[in-house]
Chain A
Amino acid sequence: MTAADAPPQPQPEPPVIGEEPRRRLHPLSPLLHGAKSIAVIVAALSWQTLSQVGLERFALVVAVLAVAVVIFSVIGWLNTGYHVVGRELRIQDGLLWRRNRAIPLDRLQAVELRRPLLAQLTGLAELRLEVVGGGKTEAPLAYLTVREAGALRQRLLALAGRTPGTAELPGTGPAPGLERPLFRVSNRDLLISQLLTPQAFFLPVGVAFVVMQTVLEGSWTFVGIASTVTAMAGVLLQPVRRVLQDWDFRLARDPGGRLAVRYGLLETRSQIVPLNRVQTIGVTWPLLWRVQGWLHLRLDIAGYAGPQSGDAKRSDRLLPVGAFESGRFLVQEVLPGVDLAALPTVQPPPRARWLHPFTLRTIGVGLTPEVFVSRSGLLTREMTLVPYARLQSVRVVQGPVQRLLGLASVYADTAGGRSGVAEDRDVAEAWWLAEQLSIRARQARAVTSPSGLTAAPTALAEPAGPAGRAEPAGDGHGRAGSEPLS
């Protein structure tokens, strides 16, 4: 804990190529890591162990392990350093296996500043860089002081941008006044929206179950109840976690036109995403939110792993909850020219009913000048928007049943982990779609500049036969519980 190596040095500006001294993380980092691992250790030891060894021994084991972790963290901290060299961020870390990583900044997808509760108390922050490749966040710099993290982020983003000549003043901090606020989600809406989830409905049932068990059997031990409650909490407290995570959700445009997302109560996150890094946008209309006409917007960025990673870890919200108009406004901000209310889709041919007895009417795809739209889901309606410029590959897949029916599915893969899917189209139409997708992707790539619109034809795939009516995507107007700023 000697602050001999005081990290926050004024950095040399402008970004010239040259050696700069390796900097250390904040001296408090090992302690914070240790504190975090206590929770992990306790969770790993579980209630079962507690009942077997008794409270004192348990505490002793935890304490010993925690001290060991802190000692290891201190050694790790001594070995960890970072510095910017040219257009690269170099990070050295590792205890036994030393690692030297160079992160090319022009490949930067998004930068996130996270402040868990303990870090908030100590005025520290964790800087996470998202680059493509690998399922997890590369190079979390934990922890730096907030000022330092903010300055480093600005600097990295300035370096990452195509024009490095923006004279960034040192120490402007993470929230410069030049940002244009876009949107804010009211906390009341957030609370209501999370009460309108299946888990929230089951919570009273679960509590009643535990109480009943305790009353009826009478012989339940403290440990038994505790483990039941813990197990239930994991599932049932998800809405609570969501509320804590998405608390005070704010969106803004930073001076460079990037999207700045800030949210969180116990752990605040502040994420900056360049708009041309947005791979897909997912729109969800959960069943229980339809009363309010609310929707949820999801942002896929290449750095964040696909659906397999835990919900809590991902930072992919564009709008945790909002009325249709707000969603429409935000989609237009992120994907210029895309109007959520005017995304016509076409159903699969009627014979696909064999595969989708109930949901046929809810499935559909559409091609607009900018995005590939696919939609599905009866109870929870979902829609995926894939900009052509972000398309990675196109796949056509035909299973045995589909072959009998003369159908095929088309997948539009993106680096975001989720694909736009045109399920069960007529085979000829599937080929047409696949070809259109690759042509439009090529045109969009050729334009390249983020603001450029492709000159692709607006016409929708209108295949042979009664392909079904085109219908507008949205629910029409929802009550404006939260409204766009400015």
Chain B
Amino acid sequence: MTEPSGSLSGATTGPADALEPWPDTVQWQPVSRSLITVELISRAIWVVVILGGLGAGWAFHRHWAWPAAMAAVAVLAIWRSIVTVRAVKAWGYAERDNDLLVRHGLVVRRLSIVPYARMQFVDVTAGPLERAFHLATVQLHTAAAASDAKIPGLPPEEAARLRDRLTALGQDRAEGL
């Protein structure tokens, strides 16, 4: 989270931020903050389920390992929740002339550059929880399985706009393979 560096030519060194390349040319769009709530709720559901299972185990079989595991799960969940808040703020995407940039991740930071011309199809998904908070996820698929361009936490209008724009651009520059 240091200051972004200047030159891109590779001719200068300096502290370059993994999430802030080309700061002068790229307009990063954040994802909706409601995604934090969605993530927290879905994590809470999982934690409750796991804690319930461990608690049941403890009820049947008195052993110190059960509460220890429960404590570990709770600590992990709290830590993950704190990280989530920051991780959601770290998600971002940018539409450039020829490609879509998506960045995410805090511990392992990732940035994907996907040319529109390589787009195979666009997925727009929204789970029940996401729908309740008016969110949708847009995912751009290329022929490479490793490509990783997923943007969660978009308002439905923005998701629809992005989908239409992506497909339009993909058709313009179509080639696929």
Contacts and interface: CB of A to CB of B under 8 A. Distances in A.
Interface stretch (B61-69, B81-89, B108-116, B159-167): B108-116
Contacts of B118: 391-393
Interface string B2-27: 00010111111111111001100000
Given A403-B109, A434-B113, A417 B12 contact: no
19 contacts: A107-B177, A109-B177, A277-B177, A393-B118, A394-B113, A395-B113, A395-B148, A396-B18, A398-B18, A398-B108, A403-B18, A406-B15, A419-B144, A427-B15, A428-B8, A428-B12, A431-B21, A438-B115, A442-B98
Closest CB pairs A-B (n = 10): A432-B10, A415-B143, A392-B144, A413-B144, A393-B147, A398-B18, A394-B113, A427-B16, A413-B146, A393-B114
A91 to B, nearest CB: 21
A423 interface: no
B145 interface: yes
Nearest to B13: A464
Interface residues of A, number: 48
A398 B175 CA distance: 30
Contact of A392 (B22, B147, B173): B147
Interface string A461-477: 11111000000000000
Nearest to B148: A395
B10 A397 contact: no
A463 B110 contact: no
Given A302-B143, A392-B143, A394-B113, A426 B108 contact: no
Interface string B133-156: 000000000111111110000000
A132 B143 contact: yes
A461 B10 contact: yes
Contacts of B35: none
Contact of A438 (B5, B99, B147, B148): B99
A417 B145 contact: yes
A400 interface: yes
B31 interface: no
A384 interface: no
Contacts of B21: 396, 431, 434-435
Nearest to A436: B10
A413 B110 contact: no
Interface in B79-111: 98-99, 107-111
Contacts of B108: 397-400
Interface core residue of B109, B142, B143 (most chain A CB under 10 Å): B143
B145 A306 contact: yes
A265 B14 CA distance: 58
B99 to A, nearest CB: 6
A440 to B, nearest CB: 11
Contacts of B110: 395-398
B29 to A, nearest CB: 18
B117 A419 contact: no
Contacts of B147: 392-393, 395, 413
A197 B13 CA distance: 44
A463 B11 CA distance: 6
Contacts of A277: 177
Contacts of A228: none
A438 B99 CA distance: 9
B113 to A, nearest CB: 4
Contact of A464 (B8, B10, B109, B145): B10
A419 B146 contact: yes
A48 to B, nearest CB: 34
Contacts of B142: 392-393, 413, 415
A441 B118 CA distance: 10
B115 A441 contact: yes
A267 B39 CA distance: 52
A462 B10 contact: yes
Given A393-B144, A464-B12, A431 B22 contact: yes
A332 interface: no
A417 B145 CA distance: 7
Contacts of B99: 438
A427 B17 CA distance: 8
A442 B114 CA distance: 11
